[in-house]
A and B are shown apart, each in its own frame.
Chain A
């Protein structure tokens, strides 16, 4: 298993580098093709003169050929010297500042949605066809259908400003005040989780129902195991495998930026919100940095999920194993 795993990881690392390279090139090219994106013009202020624009161009290297600009940008990215065109601030610092906020949101939401999804999925599966199952199906559908920004805005308004139960938005450092930190995150966590709970609980429900019809579950009963043992050791153990792998992928995507809407609505000023600002400001360095950041997490989690799958299901062999 060792050498197989090593082989697998090496191949994945290489493909990750390839993906990141491709992403960076594409982002860079797109940015340079969009009209009105001339940063020199924007940097020059309200009433730019030609000389000013020229000077900025030279200073910032916008007159260099594209591939040189690209190389410089990549170098800056890795050394952490990337600077925003519009705000002149260090992109790296901004991302570093936003990271704990995004992680708080992502990790909290991921744990919450998983816990609820398992509970509700299992409940629906065991009561399949009955009223409670159908009710949960409708609720899940509602949850999946509600756009997160709409739900977030509603919650922020009704539970936040009007009722005053939760703060409208904003973020409090965990180190400053853990309770406040938690309280500020309850609504964002809920808004982000609702969609996933709806989706995951349905997927898990059908997985469980399918697994319960499997022959080995029948064997487990025939062995005289208690219903509880059959459920936990055989049914759940098998039906959770696809869910856990899905969860890994979604988690990677959330960290990588899928939480943009939630962060923006609640003003958490995490990496996602930073990305939104950068995009609306047509600011290439932060966009590039955030995109690479996102791509890295997504690819990394993809790889972790594949490894986890192989660990959870002994039938899965990582690439390179003999086909018998």
Chain B
């Protein structure tokens, strides 16, 4: 972990509001949905920041606002010291190589009309980094790295399972050798036995490539496993940040405590014990 110098990603007071319009003749704004309501976060190079929250907390909007996939209402997002908010598409494009995203739904995030090779090689080709035989070689290497085989190059997404499709999405994300990957619920749609595989893959890739992650999930257990630090999000605000183990074992905020108390414990004796304890204190 890089302790000295500037953080890789620095978010200050990021705000994203969605206006609610109403009016007979002319639309006036009558209310706002405060999806992201003043968020401060930092991510160091090579670090994993876990972001936990329930539905409606704003974590997905936060991901998109950080990557400038939606335009923030206000605030600052600095990547390697460079301010992203307010940049035009043309200026953002070269920076996008260094920040990539992995999405939740492996069935919706891959273009069904394109072959795997085109999907994974797309970013490389679009950025003019390689073509032809060299492109193919790079793509096959990427496929191998994520646990797929080179012969998958010519297949279509629908021929793969959810876990494999997620691997394809990951291969695409690392194709440009980014410094930061924002993973928005990358394992939530997968079977439990496959989740562990993908989590381990992400871990391995982080060691090999020195990636930093913003790992968003509603499953606190998975987030804690992979993260160095955790931020808890509620109603558009970050209510607690800290070392992953610290937050999970000694939460300070009430909402965090509530969240942790609700996580089912896959251990019957402990779970009975916990229920007895809470009944006793009720």
> Is A in direct contact with B (CB under 8 Å) within the complex?
yes
Taking CB atoms, residues of chain B closer than 8 Å to A321 are 22
Min CB distance B126 to A, Å, is 34
B25 touches A322 (CB 8 A): no
Interface size on B, residues (CB 8 A): 11
A11 touches B33 (CB 8 A): no
Taking CB atoms, residues of chain B closer than 8 Å to A323 are 18, 20, 33
B276 interface residue per 8 A CB criterion: no
B24 touches A7 (CB 8 A): yes
CA distance A7 to B31 in the complex (A): 18
CA distance A6 to B18 in the complex (A): 25
A47 interface residue per 8 A CB criterion: no
Taking CB atoms, residues of chain B closer than 8 Å to A11 are 24-25
User: Which A-chain residue is minimally distant from B56 (CB atoms)?
Assistant: A324
B155 interface residue per 8 A CB criterion: no
Band of interface residues on A: 10 to 19
B23 interface residue per 8 A CB criterion: yes
CA distance A323 to B23 in the complex (A): 14
User: Which B-chain residue is minimally distant from A3 (CB atoms)?
Assistant: B24
Min CB distance B19 to A, Å, is 9
Min CB distance A18 to B, Å, is 12
User: Which A-chain residue is minimally distant from B33 (CB atoms)?
Assistant: A323
Checking A6, A10, A320, A324 against B21 with a beta-carbon cut-off of 8 angstroms, the contacting residue is: A320
Taking CB atoms, residues of chain B closer than 8 Å to A7 are 22-24
Taking CB atoms, residues of chain A closer than 8 Å to B24 are 6-7, 10-11, 320
Interface string of B6-37 (1 = CB under 8 A from A): 00000000000010111111010011010000
B23 touches A320 (CB 8 A): yes
A14 interface residue per 8 A CB criterion: yes
Taking CB atoms, residues of chain B closer than 8 Å to A10 are 24-25
Min CB distance A17 to B, Å, is 13
Q: Which of A6, A10, A321, A323 gathers the greatest number of chain B CB atoms within 10 Å? A: A323
Taking CB atoms, residues of chain A closer than 8 Å to B33 are 323-324
Min CB distance B159 to A, Å, is 23
Interface positions, chain B 110-129, Cβ under 8 Å from A, are none
Interface positions, chain A 240-278, Cβ under 8 Å from B, are none
CA distance A14 to B24 in the complex (A): 11
CA distance A323 to B22 in the complex (A): 10
CA distance A27 to B27 in the complex (A): 31
Min CB distance A145 to B, Å, is 30
Min CB distance A186 to B, Å, is 48
Min CB distance A322 to B, Å, is 5
CA distance A6 to B23 in the complex (A): 11
Taking CB atoms, residues of chain B closer than 8 Å to A14 are 25
Min CB distance A90 to B, Å, is 37
Interface string of A1-35 (1 = CB under 8 A from B): 00000110011001000000000000000000000
Taking CB atoms, residues of chain B closer than 8 Å to A6 are 24
Taking CB atoms, residues of chain B closer than 8 Å to A324 are 33
B18 touches A322 (CB 8 A): no
B18 touches A320 (CB 8 A): no
User: Which B-chain residue is minimally distant from A321 (CB atoms)?
Assistant: B22
B22 touches A320 (CB 8 A): yes
A322 touches B23 (CB 8 A): no
Interface string of A307-324 (1 = CB under 8 A from B): 000000000000011111
CA distance A11 to B24 in the complex (A): 7
CA distance A305 to B33 in the complex (A): 30
Taking CB atoms, residues of chain B closer than 8 Å to A322 are 20, 22, 30-31
Min CB distance B29 to A, Å, is 11
User: Which A-chain residue is minimally distant from B21 (CB atoms)?
Assistant: A320
User: Which B-chain residue is minimally distant from A320 (CB atoms)?
Assistant: B22
CA distance A323 to B20 in the complex (A): 6
Interface string of B194-215 (1 = CB under 8 A from A): 0000000000000000000000
User: Which B-chain residue is minimally distant from A6 (CB atoms)?
Assistant: B24
User: Which A-chain residue is minimally distant from B24 (CB atoms)?
Assistant: A7
CA distance A11 to B25 in the complex (A): 6
CA distance A10 to B20 in the complex (A): 20
Min CB distance A232 to B, Å, is 34
Interface string of A279-311 (1 = CB under 8 A from B): 000000000000000000000000000000000
CA distance A320 to B26 in the complex (A): 10
CA distance A322 to B20 in the complex (A): 6
Q: Which of B18, B20, B24, B33 gathers the greatest number of chain A CB atoms within 10 Å? A: B24
Interface positions, chain A 10-64, Cβ under 8 Å from B, are 10-11, 14
Taking CB atoms, residues of chain A closer than 8 Å to B22 are 7, 320-322
Taking CB atoms, residues of chain A closer than 8 Å to B21 are 320
Additional 5 contacts, C-beta under 8 A, given A10-B25, A322-B20, A322-B30: A11-B25, A320-B21, A322-B22, A322-B31, A323-B18
- Chain B positions within 8 Å of A, measured between CB atoms, are 18, 20-25, 27, 30-31, 33
Q: List 23 A-B contacts (CB under 8 A).
A: A6-B24, A7-B22, A7-B23, A7-B24, A10-B24, A10-B25, A11-B24, A11-B25, A14-B25, A320-B21, A320-B22, A320-B23, A320-B24, A320-B27, A321-B22, A322-B20, A322-B22, A322-B30, A322-B31, A323-B18, A323-B20, A323-B33, A324-B33
- Nearest 7 CB-CB pairs, A to B? A320-B22, A7-B24, A322-B20, A323-B20, A10-B24, A322-B31, A320-B23
